[in-house]
Amino acid sequence: MKILVCISNVPDTTSKINFTENNTQFDTNGVQFVINPNDEFGLTRAMWFKEKQGATVHVATVGQAQVEPTMRKALAIGADEAIRVDAEPTDGFFVAEQLAAVVKNGGYDLVIAGRESIDYNGGMVPGIMASLLDMNFVNTCIGLEIEGDQAKAVREIDGGKETLATHLPLIVGGQKGLVEESDLRIPNMRGIMMARKKSLNVVEPVSAEQSTKDVTFEKPAPKGPVKLVDDVDELINLLHKEAKAI
Amino acid sequence: MSVLVYTESEKGNFKKNAFEVASYAAAVAAEMGTTVTAVTINAQADETLGEYGVNKVLKVENDALSPFNAKAFAQVLSAAAAQEGAKVIVLSSSADTKYMAPLLAASLGAGYVPNVVEKPSSTAPFTVKRTAFSNKAFAQTQILADVKLIGVSNNAFGTVAQPTKVAIAPFEVALEEDSFSTKSTEIDKVVGKATIADADIVVSGGRGLKGPENWHMVEDLADVLGAATACSKPVSDLGWRPHGEHVGQTGKPVASNLYIAIGISGAIQHLAGVSSSKTKVVINTDPEAPFFKAADYGIVGDAFEIVPQLTEKLREFKAQNS
Ligand SMILES: Cc1cc2nc3c(=O)[nH]c(=O)nc-3n(C[C@H](O)[C@H](O)[C@H](O)COP(=O)(O)OP(=O)(O)OC[C@H]3O[C@@H](n4cnc5c(N)ncnc54)[C@H](O)[C@@H]3O)c2cc1C
Ligand SMILES: Nc1ncnc2c1ncn2[C@@H]1O[C@H](COP(=O)(O)O)[C@@H](O)[C@H]1O
């Protein structure tokens, strides 16, 4: 089985979000970039398939040279090879077109992406890719087992979960649940050394249209101070009369 | 050219978000000087959509479309959009719809913007305000493609009553075997309880509650309020509560009217996920807990004393006010 894990390079979850150039650009000053958390769960599940079922695992990203440390980290965690499509990831449609081309060229059986990136929050790259490639698709995937070309996937639904039967080739939008938090791996020295020898192939983008464009950004209005109350009667009163929340 | 809206139902009944997206579509249609066409799938009482400004319903009745199937539903909506020549399509933010939306976007070559929080700031060029960076910011996003697909955030727009005469037309789509190549084999869902996605009130517990055996306090409070229960990430990582309850930047977003956080410190990742809730209440022993900076109301104190009192007093309040 050949697996491709799609990796988005995102600001660490503790980052303060600021903008520059008249609120048109994200301010990367002092920001640490990491593997998108949903993608890290997917990569870790892919490592399980590699170790237990002999799968080959490649990772791919669409981004410029500065994303390479994140790809090296994915290689240090254990991916066999990395691919970087050398382009600015302008929007979900453009990124999906690039990754779809990588999938087509590489002949992957299983593509694991994240349910959403924590910066763009599009929640669309894996689904659009599936549609472009006419592959089966499971979103918000929290469990995945594969036997031959048959797949059993569990997805999160509002208020519960649903089990799905499908087959390869398959694309999933994954999240926590594919593996648990405690299964995540911190690259060790050996992994880091080995990652240096693994190939990180840079490929040219295919031509694709951008379908949306972020024009400006703004931050939420600052919040007024909290009203501290001494007892629950007062709280109930405020929630009823002032906030009209109950 | 009418604005198309997908109004979701479950077991025949419209979901709350159906009326919200219908209201949103009506607002966009008014702006553009056109009408609203809704698509319903195995729903009853389609005429109720007329109360929220829907002019026409394309009514799909097909047993193969129960339960939900993302690919098949996307094909139905794609066919409806083609028939109506729709250039603007409005969707909700439910888990099912977010599963289907990218498939629909690709088949229509549409520009899809999810997590939209207001009606379009402009329709030419078509620009919408959405959350970005996991609720830490907003973006004004322009949709360049000819067909625009808008995913409206839960509870962001609300419902707007606008009684309209509604015409109901049956709509059939021929679906092939291949549309069902991903099949549902089991659904495991709590029935009769509010879910985080559609609850007006969410009661959430953190590590301050010490252990799963104390969750009856959270559940009792939620019961009295008809609220959904939620938790912080470590609580689900520790296995005290199911993963589906984990809210925050890497869990579910919460956009309820009222969010009550008990024994939750208010880490940046947690706050990002709950910032869209309208009123936030925090109960925490530590007056320095960061959550107090993000909340509207707070009680500094021990959850083990305060929560049972609050539940009791709310029960009395509900009995008097109902
Ligand atoms: C990559 C990444 C992603 C993350 N994503 C998320 C996310 O999506 N959602 C999320 O929630 N977290 C997330 N986190 C974790 C986050 O950083 C915090 O660790 C977490 O939110 C803390 O949970 P907590 O508030 O329950 O626990 P704690 O921080 O331990 O806080 C417990 C609180 O309870 C209070 N307390 C103690 N006893 C009582 C009592 N008797 N009565 C009342 N109050 C009491 C304490 O004063 C304290 O403020 C993420 C972390 C990382 C690294
Ligand atoms: N630039 C990118 N390069 C590689 N994968 C990406 C990129 N952007 C998004 N993805 C993948 O698509 C998923 C969903 O992203 P999004 O649609 O932006 O929310 C992410 O979790 C990644 O797996």
Residues 6+ apart with CB under 8 A from B256: B155, B196, B199, B200, B201, B202, B228, B277, B278
In this complex, the residue of A19, A140, A245 whose CB is nearest that of residue B95 is: A140
Residue with tokens 């394309």: B58
Measured from the CB, is residue A124 less than 6 Å from ligand 2? yes
pLDDT computed for residue A223 by the predictor: 87
Residue A116 forms part of a structural domain: yes
Mutate to test the pocket of ligand 1, among B233, B247, B276 (most ligand atoms within 8 A of CB): B233
Give domain status of residue A234, yes or no.
Answer: no
Cβ contact, residue pair B139, A214, below 8 Å: yes
Q: Report the CATH number that the domain containing residue A17 is assigned in CATH.
A: 3.40.50.620
Those of residues 209-238 in A touching chain B at CB distance below 8 A are 209-220, 223, 226-233, 235-236, 238
The parts of chain B modelled with pLDDT lower than 50 are none
Whether residue B143 is found in the same domain as residue B224: no
Domain that holds residue B310: 201-320
User: Considering the domain boundaries, does residue A241 fall inside one?
Assistant: no
Q: How far apart are CA B154 and CA B100, in angstroms?
A: 16
The confidence score (pLDDT) of residue B190 equals 84
Residue-wise DSSP of B49-87: GGGBT--EEEEE--GGG-S--HHHHHHHHHHHHHHHT-S
Sheet holding A227-228, edge to edge: A227-228, B297-300, B279-284, B258-262, B201-205, B228-231
Q: How far is the CA of B202 from the centre of ligand 1 (A)?
A: 17
Q: Is residue B77 part of a domain?
A: yes
**Structural domain tally of chain B?**
2
Q: Residues B248, B306: one domain?
A: yes
For residues B159 and B27, membership in a common domain is answered with yes
B233 and B153 share a domain?
no
My answer on whether B163 and B271 are in the same domain is no
Residue B194 counted as domain residue: no
* Alpha carbon separation from A211 to A70, A96, A228, B29, B139 (Å, rounded): 27, 11, 47, 22, 15
**Judgement on whether residues B271 and B172 belong to the same structural domain of the protein:** no
Q: Please indicate, yes or no, whether residues B19 and B167 belong to a single structural domain of this protein.
A: yes
pLDDT of residue A186: 93
- Indicate the residue among B180, B214, B245 that finishes a domain: B180
Q: In A, which residues are within 8 Å of B152 by CB distance? A: none
CB contact under 8 A, A246 and B201: yes
Strand partners, B56: B37, B167
Give the domain CATH number at B267: 3.40.50.1220
* Residue among B240, B259, B270 to mutate when testing ligand 1 (max atoms within 8 A of CB): B270
Q: Is residue B222 located within the same domain as residue B134?
A: no
- Distance (angstroms) between ligand 1 centre and the Cα of A227 equals 22
**Residue B165 and residue B51 in one domain:** yes
Rounded CA-CA distance A29/B1 in Å is 45
| Domain annotation covers residue B186 | no
DSSP collapsed to 3 states, chain A: CEEEEECCEEECCCCCCCEECCCCEECCCCCCEEECHHHHHHHHHHHHHHHHHCCEEEEEEECCHHHHHHHHHHHHHCCCEEEEECCCCCCHHHHHHHHHHHHHHHCCCEEEEECCCCCCCCCCHHHHHHHHHCCEEEEEEEEEEEECCEEEEEEEECCEEEEEEEECCEEEEECCCCCCHHHCCCCCHHHHHHHHHCCEEEECCCCCCCCEEEEEEECCCCCCCCEECCCHHHHHHHHHHCCCCC
> Which bound ligand lies closest to the C-alpha atom of B307?
1
Residues of B in contact with A152 (CB under 8 A): 185
- What domain count does chain A have? 1
Note whether B27 and B70 are same-domain residues.
yes
| Range 39-78 of A in CB contact (< 8 A) with B | none
Distance from CA of A26 to the nearest CA of B (A): 10
Position A237 in a domain: no
What does DSSP say about strands B122-123 and B167-170: parallel, antiparallel, or unpaired?
unpaired
Kindly give the pairing relationship between strand B137-143 and strand A212-218: antiparallel
Query: Is A48 among the domain residues?
Result: yes
Residue B306 lies in a domain: yes
Co-location of B160 and B230 in the same domain: no
- Residue numbers of the domain that contains A60: 2-220
Ligand nearest to the CA of B288: 1
B188 inside domain: no
Residues 6+ apart with CB under 8 A from A204: A85, A86
B170 plus B279 within the same structural domain: no
A184-221: pLDDT as tens digits: 999 999 999 999 999 999 999 999 999 999 999 999 99
Q: Measured between beta carbons, which residues in chain A are less than 8 angstroms from residue B195?
A: 158-159
Partner-chain residue, chosen from A166, A215, A245, that has the shortest CB–CB distance to B140: A215
B118-to-B20, B24, B307 alpha-carbon distances in Å: 12, 9, 35
Task: Look at residue B192 and tell me if it is in a domain.
Answer: no
pLDDT in tens for each of the 246 residues of chain A?
999 999 999 999 999 999 999 999 999 999 999 999 999 999 999 999 999 999 999 999 999 999 999 999 999 999 999 999 999 999 999 999 999 999 999 999 999 999 999 999 999 999 999 999 999 999 999 999 999 999 999 999 999 999 999 999 999 999 999 999 999 999 999 999 999 999 999 999 999 999 999 999 999 998 899 999 999 999 999 999 999 999
For residue A225, being part of any structural domain is answered with: no
Q: Look up the CATH number of the domain holding residue B94.
A: 3.40.50.620
- Neighboring chain A residues of B132 at a CB cutoff of 8 Å: 119-121, 214, 217
Measured between alpha carbons, how far is B289 from A143 in angstroms, rounded to an integer? Answer: 35
**Minimum-distance CB partner of A156 among B140, B143, B244:** B244
pLDDT tens for residues B179-202? 999 999 999 998 888 899 989 999
C-beta of A7 in contact with ligand 2 (< 6 A): yes
Specify whether the CB–CB gap between B40 and B49 falls below 8 A: yes
Hey, what amino acid is at B132?
A: A
DSSP string of B278-294, one letter each residue: SEEEEEES-TT-THHHH
- Taking CA atoms only, the protein residue closest to ligand 1 atom 47 is B286
CA distance B16 to B8: 9
- Atom 10 in ligand 2: residue holding the nearest Cα: A8
